[in-house]
Amino acid sequence: MRRTRFTSVLFVLLVCIVVAVGFGRGWFQLSSSEDATRDQVHVDLTLDRGKFQSDAEKAVDKTKQEASQLSDSIKHGSSEGTHDKTPPAQP
């Protein structure tokens, strides 16, 4: 019971984060219009697939680039954290 509730809360939180990021990045647009004769309000949610796919491709490219740089630094035995270390004392 507890695990199910945790999973549900986690899912709702994840959806909220995706929606917030989506509005911030311009993936979603919300618009409304009124129909006074019928006393109705129409609300539309629009997804910009092109913007979403463009941002996803940029994220994939950036991740590949960072992974390649990390892999190269590991292969050459130099990582960013090793520059600050002092060499071991000589006996």
Domain boundaries, the chain: 1-58
- C-alpha distances in angstroms, 59 versus 56, 66, 80? 5, 10, 22
Q: Which CB contacts under 8 angstroms, 24+ apart, belong to 77-81?
A: none
Asked whether the predicted pLDDT for residue 59 surpasses 90, the reply is yes
- Give the pLDDT confidence of 30-42 residue by residue, as tens digits: 999 999 899 999 9
C-alpha–C-alpha distance, residues 16 and 51, integer Å: 19
Instruction: Work out the pLDDT band at 76, boundaries 50, 70, 90.
Output: confident
Structure tokens at 3: 């695990």
C-alpha–C-alpha distance, residues 78 and 54, integer Å: 33
Q: Is 86 helix (H, G, I), strand (E, B) or coil?
A: coil
Q: What pLDDT does 89 receive?
A: 63
Instruction: Work out the pLDDT band at 49, boundaries 50, 70, 90.
Output: very high
